Amino acid sequence: MISKKETKIYVNNTIKLMKKEYGFNSKIGVLFKMVEQYFLSINISVSGFDTPKLSVKAYIKPSIIDDLFWDVFNMEDNKSQPLSLKAVGAFKFDSLRFYDRSTYIEEGDQVIPYIDSEIRIIIDIANDIASKYKTLEEFCSYSKNVLNPGFYDINLMHMLIKIHNLEYSAARRIAEEKIVSHEKGRFAQGNKYIYDYVVEYCLEKEKG
């Protein structure tokens, strides 16, 4: 029976192999790359006690959504930072979790074939998303049907789509309605939350 510590070593070595095999980059154990206009990231983790549990989770978002997020959040400089910031940065738009699978590992030789198989499936799904959903609106519609999407914020997605389309008053109204309902989004600087930033940003744009 393999230990949790030993499984993590196998996983770290496998991540290195997957980078070469499928053209990923990695940062603190997260695999990531562009798939057409989308940013794909994969998190592989080990948990459990007696028998290690190996989990593979995949996330996707339109790459442009981070630029819009950073514009609104007064973090424009992030747009010139390395691509890894979209995956592991503290302040970035939360990707849609579209894949979440796990298995228990008893022997080390199970790790590479399991992860390789999962990554093949994930890449196929990501390619399908990229080919089917060419616009932000299409991706947003798709995301409504994804169960257990993680921290993905569809309300913020709606706001940023409106901003992208220069519909500032519409984006502001969505944010204001959510704030009245005591929803603020999960990102904050000081006492000001991301939905507050949306209102402020849109008011400035509406002034012309």
Distance CA 162, CA 160 (A): 5
**Structural domain span for residue 44:** 4-133
- For 3-60, write each residue's pLDDT tens digit: 999 999 999 999 999 999 999 999 999 999 999 999 999 999 999 888 999 999 999 9
Are 46 and 122 part of one and the same domain?
A: yes
- Domain-embedded: residue 49: yes
- Domain-embedded: residue 64: yes
- Domain-embedded: residue 143: no
- For 101-147, write each residue's pLDDT tens digit: 999 999 999 999 999 999 999 999 999 999 999 999 999 999 999 99
Are 120 and 162 part of one and the same domain?
A: no
Query: What 3-state DSSP class applies to 138?
Result: helix
Distance CA 175, CA 130 (A): 28
Are 25 and 126 part of one and the same domain?
A: yes
- Domain-embedded: residue 71: yes
How many structural domains are present in the chain?
Answer: 2
Per-residue tokens: 79: 């747009």
SS3 content of the chain, % helix, strand, coil (to 5): 50, 20, 30
Are 95 and 161 part of one and the same domain?
A: no
Q: Could you tell me the pTM of the whole model?
A: 0.95
- Domain-embedded: residue 149: no
- Domain-embedded: residue 15: yes
- Domain-embedded: residue 99: yes
What lies within 8 Å, CB to CB, of 142 at 6+ separation is 129, 132, 133
Per-residue tokens: 90: 């503290």
